[in-house]
Amino acid sequence: MQAINASIDVDRGLWSEDIEASLAHAAMLVRQGIIRQADGRKIARGLKRIRKEIEEGRFEFRADLEDIHMNVEARLKTLIGAAAGRLHTARSRNDQVATDFRLWVRGAIDRLDDRLNRLIAALLDRAEEHAATVMPGYTHLQPAQAVTFGHHLMAYVEMFGRDRGRLMDARARLDECPLGAAALAGTSFPIDRAMTAKALGFAQPMRNSIDAVSDRDFALETLAAGAILAVHLSRLAEELVLWTSPGFGFVALGDAFTTGSSIMPQKRNPDAAELIRAKSGRAIAGLTQLLVVLKGLPLTYGKDMQEDKAPTFAALADLQLSLDAMTGMIRNLKADAKAMRAATAAGFLTATDLADWLVRVLDLPFRRAHHAAGRLVRLAEAKGCGLADLGLPDFRRVVPGIGPAVYKVLDIDRSVASRRGLGGTAPNRVRQAIAAARKRSMKR
Amino acid sequence: MQAINASIDVDRGLWSEDIEASLAHAAMLVRQGIIRQADGRKIARGLKRIRKEIEEGRFEFRADLEDIHMNVEARLKTLIGAAAGRLHTARSRNDQVATDFRLWVRGAIDRLDDRLNRLIAALLDRAEEHAATVMPGYTHLQPAQAVTFGHHLMAYVEMFGRDRGRLMDARARLDECPLGAAALAGTSFPIDRAMTAKALGFAQPMRNSIDAVSDRDFALETLAAGAILAVHLSRLAEELVLWTSPGFGFVALGDAFTTGSSIMPQKRNPDAAELIRAKSGRAIAGLTQLLVVLKGLPLTYGKDMQEDKAPTFAALADLQLSLDAMTGMIRNLKADAKAMRAATAAGFLTATDLADWLVRVLDLPFRRAHHAAGRLVRLAEAKGCGLADLGLPDFRRVVPGIGPAVYKVLDIDRSVASRRGLGGTAPNRVRQAIAAARKRSMKR
Amino acid sequence: MQAINASIDVDRGLWSEDIEASLAHAAMLVRQGIIRQADGRKIARGLKRIRKEIEEGRFEFRADLEDIHMNVEARLKTLIGAAAGRLHTARSRNDQVATDFRLWVRGAIDRLDDRLNRLIAALLDRAEEHAATVMPGYTHLQPAQAVTFGHHLMAYVEMFGRDRGRLMDARARLDECPLGAAALAGTSFPIDRAMTAKALGFAQPMRNSIDAVSDRDFALETLAAGAILAVHLSRLAEELVLWTSPGFGFVALGDAFTTGSSIMPQKRNPDAAELIRAKSGRAIAGLTQLLVVLKGLPLTYGKDMQEDKAPTFAALADLQLSLDAMTGMIRNLKADAKAMRAATAAGFLTATDLADWLVRVLDLPFRRAHHAAGRLVRLAEAKGCGLADLGLPDFRRVVPGIGPAVYKVLDIDRSVASRRGLGGTAPNRVRQAIAAARKRSMKR
Amino acid sequence: MQAINASIDVDRGLWSEDIEASLAHAAMLVRQGIIRQADGRKIARGLKRIRKEIEEGRFEFRADLEDIHMNVEARLKTLIGAAAGRLHTARSRNDQVATDFRLWVRGAIDRLDDRLNRLIAALLDRAEEHAATVMPGYTHLQPAQAVTFGHHLMAYVEMFGRDRGRLMDARARLDECPLGAAALAGTSFPIDRAMTAKALGFAQPMRNSIDAVSDRDFALETLAAGAILAVHLSRLAEELVLWTSPGFGFVALGDAFTTGSSIMPQKRNPDAAELIRAKSGRAIAGLTQLLVVLKGLPLTYGKDMQEDKAPTFAALADLQLSLDAMTGMIRNLKADAKAMRAATAAGFLTATDLADWLVRVLDLPFRRAHHAAGRLVRLAEAKGCGLADLGLPDFRRVVPGIGPAVYKVLDIDRSVASRRGLGGTAPNRVRQAIAAARKRSMKR
């Protein structure tokens, strides 16, 4: 039973929040006259000493004391005697653990947000450097149209920006204090919930005591935001794995982010990128786990909810690690602009430009222009050349009116530069987007 | 291949949004001089006629035309001829479907929010009616302390209120228009993205064309909010199943929400509640499905993303159904206040009140008071009576100083009334909470 | 990078298997003449010494050495010098870790099977004891027909029996040895894969080297069997939570499996059952995690696959814990036969017997008999009595031909005894089922 | 309520199984003398006529009749009158639907197994054709060692072979008949469960009536086998996407399996492969959904279980589609042996051969040989050439004793041919593996 019941291996991660919340609770009990000042002072002194013991690695966590709350309180009793027994007045482990866990998740959100900000900064720097570096844009992993590497990286700036937004929204919704809900019904002691809420940096106390002890939305929502973030990271990681494979060769990762092989002396494997890609599994699974735990659970507190912390701790810690590793890779990667440009030779990347030009200049309906461009692509394929290598007679066999101006349209750089509308890949537009993103990120 | 590739069975659900977006696109093409006014007029007339045909069930959806976009465009060609081929100028199916799907999800969010609002209204009404109806509050499905039924229902008002918040945050983040991103890189036509964004009711165009066609965050975030909402519904559904079981007998559901048995003539099964509980499976799975689809997908558009709509449509439609059914059950349920009160006799619900009283009146440290109350509970158990049935000598054997005032503390109604702090279960406090919730819900 | 790359915190769990596999590999290298006998002896001696060091807790695991394989090999080098460098001949970490992990999962399957067997034995004992203990059988948590508690427990014997079958099938499919696949392509050294396979207790070597290093089916299949098992456990746990709630009161758990409250002195919470129910979350999530990790992964080995062990270790360890706790609860629970019988008074449990009797004796078509029984139930409800309390005139008002023999049909014990066909709930049939199950479990 | 409760939109998929099971049930009722022969004949005639009506699309499914069972029975009543009311004697919808659904899943397993067999046959044919086609083998998507394309395809033959094994094991465990369990407790009618089990092709009746109506393991296990299969398909699909991307260019898919773009005239997108990859999402989600539905559900039947069919139908239908599409792609793909060989030039694929040779010929410990080979790779990299382009003096600078025989070791074909042990990539070994696989697949 102890083996399945004890949670100390996991919830010791809450030690700092537990002490912080107990300090706030004890101070409030004193001010409300519920416990004596002398006892309050002893409790505060004892708790601070325990904090120091833990910080210095001198605290012995005991499984027979089940959880972090009892470990702290038992030590407090050793340190200050009977007064320790007054700390738990007007609270229950149910509101205590809800408070501790909220504080922890709030801290984790802030740590993730900080890491996201750094990753965005790294992306902005590389995007600026490569605002005009031309590469093939892919759909279906097939070359589609030319874009700039900077523009491509800026897509991730948008994605990670939304991730920050989701985390901040979760944080705002989480920012209510359950302390004072006691077991489930509130308490008959004249406590001041506003005071403890404020002391712990919460915007306000929670409005319903039953909800306060039953709710784990704050963890679910943070895990959901984390799962979406992890999927974003997995997509960028996949691209790094592709780009470093010799068939692409667009990017070389810093040596710090690759590893060798125990058997193949030549290997430089993008291990960090693969691990980040894989860790999306834990983020998705962590969310699934907590949703499953809570599914069909009657109110109020059930012991099932003890299984909330392990998936949350693991998923958010892995995300932090992934963000750090990704930031390091982005900061250290060497983009091979030549290889990127060389790759634009394959795949007839300007076929759309050609079709658009036929619309604009020869007034063909788009569907007919698209069809004509398709025929020209097949002609070039048959000849084993690019579109620009076709002769004017070739062009005119398909669309009689085509003149020599067509060749300008088939130029990669011109193609990129022509997409200069809002959100487009033209270098100047990309530079504007970078500047605007820098401004937004400063505001926060 | 057609069997696996055609999406029309699913994406026909987008027909209305597809036509709306095409109308906006065509109007913009005209105003920017990209297509002729006459063509624009024909296109608009044709699209409106198609809308009517679909509304009236006279439109034939064809799998050989693959998707909703080609079905509409093919019909448009039949109706207006070559001008139909000009509609697809300066856009691609990639930005088209992203726009359609965003519009659909935005609409689904609004429908869910509306349903949530009605469910909250139903809960508030029942909570008001039962603000003073005493019942056992449970932790671990064991009787813990007395609460009021109204207070219990108000916990769900809090939960569903957060669900609304999450949906509104998702809506705000979704509210950007991908149209104009074309295939992935933007377009060289001089389009006005602000104009189409505005026409479709979006706050602004998306800022990066690659992100615009690659992103499905808006669906993920809505599904995540939906999964959390579904878990809330599953908890309330579980409670309805429990409360209607004879061991509890707290509640009778309206006949409309129960069903009989094909073999057992006496049955009245809480089918709707069970189905709502089960449908949390689809909500969680829908989210999982889309996270898995997107995991490790390189930018930009991949055909994988076609698998975004089926789980989203199914999960959100089921949620709407669940909300409607839950609202109906809450509006129609009959609470049995007598049975609830009778159930408070079991489980020594005032043991905490007793311990708290020992702290307050006899100044015992809480831990010792808790221990003493525990001994009195065991004494009553041994005698097969309640705490209030013990004699004063019994009390004094455990805590010498106890006087006759103890009996007041053991009264259920007094216990409930004493939890009058913010968030507590005292009837007056519950009524205040209801009033405040009504005010909040009006503001929106 | 080290923080994300090092796996030693997790894969140290493979230490024993790693040494076992290295011993087998080294012995084979010697016999095939690939390394010298003297080196082989040194290696074996060194590995055994490392095994002892780890067993005695004297081995220092180092994160800078990344994984368990390098930790062992580095120590081996310290112990025996250059000969240590010959151990890795003709193998790679890719086949090495696949071998280690298979050995570990095989061991975990055996441990689970052993625990399942004990749980089944406990259920059989309680089923035998309660083969004739009558209780309400529920559908939709509404009383449906009377069954015996023994019959109900035997349903779980069937479920856990299938779980054993799934684990055994997974074990048989897992039982092939990847060693010798080297990095991915096999090796040019003249190794004897049959010899190492046999030494490690595998049925045979794997047939394809690429599959050998890329495959994690064995973990997926075991996790899938584990997830289904966890759902079975969650259902039994849910029933224990219900049965110990005062509204049912069918069962009391041993004190070892309940806990008290930090605030409510009277509580005896079924924590172990709740934790088992909740741990289904981890089992489902562990499976999801590994499926997500492997989704879309090109062959052969990718670093993503390092994320295979954490979810597998955690999910299977939790299952073992859950099985132990469940076995303890089943062995220690006290069933309250009186409370069970009392509960059969509610819910008109013999209504089906009545309908069946009308079919048999009065030759009504079942649908009409069902309808008639339904009317009688409503009549009894209106009178606030049971079916057996209705008078003959009442019966005859609904079905004219009914005679006094009807009352026999309404007896609970007779109802239970009448379901004596294969799989039915009649006590004698249940006893036969128990005997047959004991025989089957002996065979294994 | 009807909207949430009616299941006919989903469970009409069971129509054929429902009629089959009713025919078997009615025949048994007659033989046991429970209903009259004349009634039995009418029922059989009516059911067969309904079967025909459905087959011919003339049957009207009605949502107000809730489910497939009531739709069939209502029609039967119209066709044959009161005798229809005798069909439901001695059964309940609970055992009826369990029987129908088992029959359906058994059929789906057989359909999947048939498709798997065809896919394996297609892979074997292509593997045979390319038993000696050399390509780079990758780990971490980095070139590792040379393998043959046939060997690579054979890895999938192993994977899909295990999938077949899992499905067959699930089928064997599923192959028990729930009919006769009635609502939950069995029946008092003298039915012959062995007779109906046999008539429906089941190996035997289920042994416990409560288990019979509560169990959905058979669907869970099939979905789990399907999820693993889907992950296998996603890996092969990913490789097809990679191989058709110009950076690899190893493979061209048949035109039937690629699609064009609405805007880019040159595109040939591997849509089918991407859809197969994405559909792993549905397979994983379907499994998750049913696990979530069943989690924490008390026995016996609950309406929650009605949510079992939708995910099962959808996931297994998609798998069937995916298998068909994959088989088509494998049958139609054109492998570009030249491009594969050309790609072996990059990545120093024989570095391991070199290290192994240093061990064998110069007796270096493997770790030192590995280190030396690594230095030579870096030397070649610095010179911008391959290992075979280094001069003897270069080799000797790193390992003094190296002679001209080293150059043979650096030959790709020789490297491949040297891995001739069991499971290795040498062409002859691959051909043996293919022959053995053909023999195994014939046996089934």
Q: Which of A420, A399, A421, A417 is nearest to A354 (CA)?
A: A399
Give the number of other CB atoms < 10 A from CB of residue B414.
15
Over residues D143-159, the mean pLDDT reads 97
Assign B150 to helix, strand or coil.
Answer: helix
Chain D residues in contact with A368 (beta carbon < 8 A):
none
- The verdict on whether D140 is a catalytic residue reads yes
pLDDT in tens, B5-63: 888 999 999 999 999 999 999 999 999 999 999 999 999 999 999 999 999 999 999 99
Complex-level ipTM = 0.96
Which chains neighbour A (Cβ–Cβ under 8 Å, 3 or more pairs)?
A: B, C, D
Cβ separation of A355 and D260 shorter than 8 Å?
Answer: no
Over residues D115-137, the mean pLDDT reads 98
Per-residue pLDDT of chain A in tens (444 residues, 90 and over written 9):
778 888 899 999 999 999 999 999 999 999 999 999 999 999 999 999 999 999 999 999 999 998 999 999 999 999 999 999 999 999 999 999 999 999 999 999 999 999 999 999 999 999 999 999 999 999 999 999 999 999 999 999 999 999 999 999 999 999 999 999 999 999 999 999 999 999 999 999 999 999 999 999 999 999 999 999 999 999 999 999 999 999 999 999 988 888 887 778 788 899 999 999 999 999 999 999 999 999 999 999 999 999 999 999 999 999 999 999 999 999 999 999 999 999 999 889 999 999 999 999 999 999 999 999 999 999 999 999 999 999 999 999 999 989 999 999 999 999 999 999 999 999 999 999 999 999 987 765
Q: What is the pLDDT of residue A358?
A: 95
* Active-site residue (options: B16, B261, B262, B322): B261
- The verdict on whether A209 is a catalytic residue reads no
- Do C140 and D301 meet the contact criterion of CB atoms below 8 Å apart? yes
pLDDT in tens, D300-322: 999 999 999 999 999 999 999 99
Partners of residue D335 on adjacent β-strands: D251
CA distance A149 to chain C (A): 25
Chain A residues in contact with B187 (beta carbon < 8 A):
356, 419, 421, 424
Q: Two tokens at B206?
A: 């998306």
Partners of residue A136 on adjacent β-strands: A146
Q: Is the pLDDT of residue D444 over 80?
A: no
Higher pLDDT, D236 or D3: D236
C-alpha A148: how far from chain center: 25
Cβ separation of D246 and A143 shorter than 8 Å?
Answer: yes
Q: Which of B68, A99, C224, C429 is nearest to D217 (CA)?
A: C224
Chain B residues in contact with C141 (beta carbon < 8 A):
241-242, 244-245, 270
CA distance C155 to chain D (A): 5
How many Å from the N-terminal Cα to the C-terminal Cα in chain B?
Answer: 49
Place of tokens 């049955």: B267
Assign A91 to helix, strand or coil.
Answer: coil
Q: What is the DSSP string of A326-383?
A: HHHHHHH-EE-HHHHHHHTTTTTTTHHHHHHHHHHHH---HHHHHHHHHHHHHHHHHH
Over residues C281-298, the mean pLDDT reads 98
Residues in chain B, pLDDT under 70: 442-444
* Residues contacting A35, CB < 8 A, separation 6+: A26, A29, A43, A86, A89
Cβ separation of B228 and A220 shorter than 8 Å?
Answer: yes
Q: Two tokens at A385?
A: 């050349």
CA distance A354 to chain D (A): 10
CA distances from B196 to A186, B31, B101, B284, B317 (A): 53, 11, 15, 34, 28
Question: CA D17 to CA D25: how far, in whole Å?
Answer: 12
- Do D36 and D30 meet the contact criterion of CB atoms below 8 Å apart? yes
pLDDT in tens, C245-278: 999 999 999 888 888 877 787 888 999 999 999 9
Nearest neighbour of C183 by CB, restricted to A3, A264, A282 = A264
Q: Two tokens at D261?
A: 């773009």
Question: CA A290 to CA A301: how far, in whole Å?
Answer: 15
Partners of residue B135 on adjacent β-strands: B147
Chain C residues in contact with A263 (beta carbon < 8 A):
88, 91-94, 182-183
Cβ separation of A262 and C4 shorter than 8 Å?
Answer: no
Residue of C207, C292, C294, C418 for testing the chain D interface, max D β-carbons within 10 Å: C207
Cβ separation of B140 and C241 shorter than 8 Å?
Answer: yes
Q: Two tokens at B177?
A: 């228009």
Q: Two tokens at B421?
A: 């702090």
Averaged pLDDT score across all residues of chain D: 95
Q: Is the pLDDT of residue C444 over 60?
A: no
Buried b (16+ CB within 10 A) or exposed e, C414-427: ebbbbbbbbbbbbb
Q: What is the pLDDT of residue B265?
A: 77
Residue of C135, C139, C141, C304 for testing the chain B interface, max B β-carbons within 10 Å: C141
Give the number of other CB atoms < 10 A from CB of residue B257.
23
- Do B333 and B252 meet the contact criterion of CB atoms below 8 Å apart? yes
Question: CA D335 to CA D331: how far, in whole Å?
Answer: 11
* Active-site residue (options: D69, D152, D245, D261): D261
* Active-site residue (options: C16, C25, C92, C140): C140
CA distance C51 to chain D (A): 22
Torsion-angle region of A322 (φ positive above 0: left; ψ -120 to 50: alpha; else: beta): alpha
Alpha-helical (H) ranges within B175-208 are 193-199
- Do D161 and A284 meet the contact criterion of CB atoms below 8 Å apart? no
Cβ separation of D423 and C190 shorter than 8 Å?
Answer: no
Q: Which of D325, D313, D242, D318 is nearest to D279 (CA)?
A: D318
Q: What is the pLDDT of residue D443?
A: 61
Torsion-angle region of A201 (φ positive above 0: left; ψ -120 to 50: alpha; else: beta): left
C vs D, Cβ pairs < 8 A, gives 349
Question: CA B333 to CA B326: how far, in whole Å?
Answer: 10
Q: What is the pLDDT of residue B444?
A: 55
Cβ separation of B183 and D292 shorter than 8 Å?
Answer: no
* Residues contacting D250, CB < 8 A, separation 6+: D135, D149, D243, D244, D335, D336, D339, D340, D343
Over residues C72-82, the mean pLDDT reads 96
A vs C, Cβ pairs < 8 A, gives 154
Closest chain B residue to the Cα of D241, Cα to Cα: B302
| Residues D341/D347/D349/D353 CA torsion (nearest 10 deg) | 160
Chain B residues in contact with C269 (beta carbon < 8 A):
139-140, 142
Cβ separation of D183 and B264 shorter than 8 Å?
Answer: yes
Over residues C319-331, the mean pLDDT reads 97
Over residues C33-54, the mean pLDDT reads 97
pLDDT in tens, C153-179: 999 999 999 999 999 999 999 999 999
Q: Look up the pTM and report it.
A: 0.97
Assign B209 to helix, strand or coil.
Answer: helix
Q: What angle is formed at CA B327 by the lines to CA B326 and CA B331, rounded to 5 degrees?
A: 115
Partners of residue C176 on adjacent β-strands: C204
